[in-house]
Amino acid sequence: MYKRERSQLSFHDMIYDRVIRKSHFLYKLESVIDWHRFERYFDRLYPSSVGRPAYNPVMMFKALVLQFLYDLSDRQLEDNLNDRLSFRYFLGIDPSDAVPDHTVYCRFRDRLGAETIAELFNEVVSQARSKRLVKDRLCIVDATHVEAKVNTYRMNGERDDDAPGSPPSRIDPDARHGYKSKNKPFFGYKVGIGIDKDTNIVTTVTATPGNEHDSTHFPDVADPHAKTVTADKGYDSPDNFALIKDRKQKAAIMVKRRRGKQRGHIKARYPTQKAYQHYYRLKQFRSYIEKIFATAKQWYGLGRARYLGLAKMKLQAAMTMMAMNLKRMVLLDKSVQT
């Protein structure tokens, strides 16, 4: 059981009307998304009607959105809710009301879990599609590395070498060693996404340990709604091309050069002239996704894991891309432009 949102206007709504301008980002965000559509995802998380009512889960979810939009820790989120009227307005909290303690957000994330967060992410994408903010002409797929929340200098001393198959780190047992490039190793995870080329909205997202190859998770990030899918050479495999064919999509995946062949390796994937021209025309857009990763790392904290474990990494990846999508939707939705 949880507290329902109040339905009647109060004196504090008049304060918000005077203070929060219609051009404010959070004012626009409040109207771009139908937040009531998220309620059905929370009902199963609060089945009992016994005990003290919990905070409204939609309000708590919106608090997590603020946290990832502004790259805040739990304590910083609590402090900002105490200081900023715009944050209180977005959450529907009266200026005189107490805000949730910072420890509440951690428990709420644990209650949600990666599976529910993925459903919430898909709901945001679904609403973007309903507003025709996702064109589905070309899906660009790629992955980036995320450093684990581990001190790698101390990691070797923590490992139990006597235990066969023991993880590299006891602090984060799900993180693994991987390579950004041939000579640039890292320790952590990989986040794979698929974006809509026309609007830069992220439509799919997944997270994996750092040692797993990108191409093995291509089915998770290649958006089945898109007419064409493009990716770099790391995704060039017979299985991925077969998947695209089964989905009745077109491929524009860059092809690995085979030893001893000049252009035969390309013709093997794109045998007709029409298919080759389609590939050659669309592969140039593959680099568009790099801007998404750069923005996520610089402004949304995706360069390093916030939490420990693969499940929490999936939660962080989905919430980060959701926050970026929400900001993008505000910019694209003409109904809220003033």
CATH number of 300's domain: 3.30.420.10
pLDDT value at 93 more than 90: no
The answer to the question of residue 72 being in a domain is yes
Domain boundary among 96, 122, 148: 122
Residues 199, 324 within the same domain: yes
Q: For the residues 209-227, what does the mean pLDDT come to?
A: 95
For the record, the structure tokens of 35 come out as 């937040």
Question: The domain containing residue 168 runs over which residues?
Answer: 133-336
Q: In total, how many domains does the chain have? A: 2
Confidence band, pLDDT 50/70/90 cuts, at residue 1: very low
Domain boundary among 98, 122, 146: 122
pLDDT value at 49 more than 70: no
Residues 326, 222 within the same domain: yes
CA angle 197, 198, 202 (to 5 degrees): 55
Residues 90, 223 within the same domain: no
Residues 92, 229 within the same domain: no
Residues 60, 144 within the same domain: no
The answer to the question of residue 128 being in a domain is no
Residues 112, 241 within the same domain: no
Residues 112, 143 within the same domain: no
Q: For the residues 301-317, what does the mean pLDDT come to?
A: 96
Q: Which of 57, 71, 74, 73 is nearest to 108 (CA)?
A: 57
Distance in angstroms (rounded) separating the CA atoms of residues 203 and 195: 6
Residues 227, 297 within the same domain: yes
Q: For the residues 311-323, what does the mean pLDDT come to?
A: 98
Confidence band, pLDDT 50/70/90 cuts, at residue 17: confident
Cβ(292)–Cβ(195) under 8 Å? yes
Cβ(238)–Cβ(227) under 8 Å? no
Q: pLDDT, tens digit, for every residue of 55-79?
A: 889 999 999 999 999 999 999 999 9
Distance in angstroms (rounded) separating the CA atoms of residues 333 and 29: 10
pLDDT value at 329 more than 70: yes
Residues 161, 285 within the same domain: yes
Domain boundary among 56, 87, 122: 122
Residues 139, 248 within the same domain: yes
Distance in angstroms (rounded) separating the CA atoms of residues 56 and 63: 11
Residues 273, 172 within the same domain: yes
Cβ(149)–Cβ(189) under 8 Å? no
Confidence band, pLDDT 50/70/90 cuts, at residue 220: very high
pTM of the prediction? 0.91
For the record, the structure tokens of 323 come out as 């926050």
Confidence band, pLDDT 50/70/90 cuts, at residue 2: very low
Higher pLDDT, 145 or 158: 145
What pLDDT is recorded for position 267?
Answer: 80
The answer to the question of residue 64 being in a domain is yes
Confidence band, pLDDT 50/70/90 cuts, at residue 177: very high
Residues 107, 205 within the same domain: no
Task: Please give the single-letter amino acid code of residue 265.
Answer: H
The answer to the question of residue 3 being in a domain is no
pLDDT value at 10 more than 70: no
The answer to the question of residue 244 being in a domain is yes
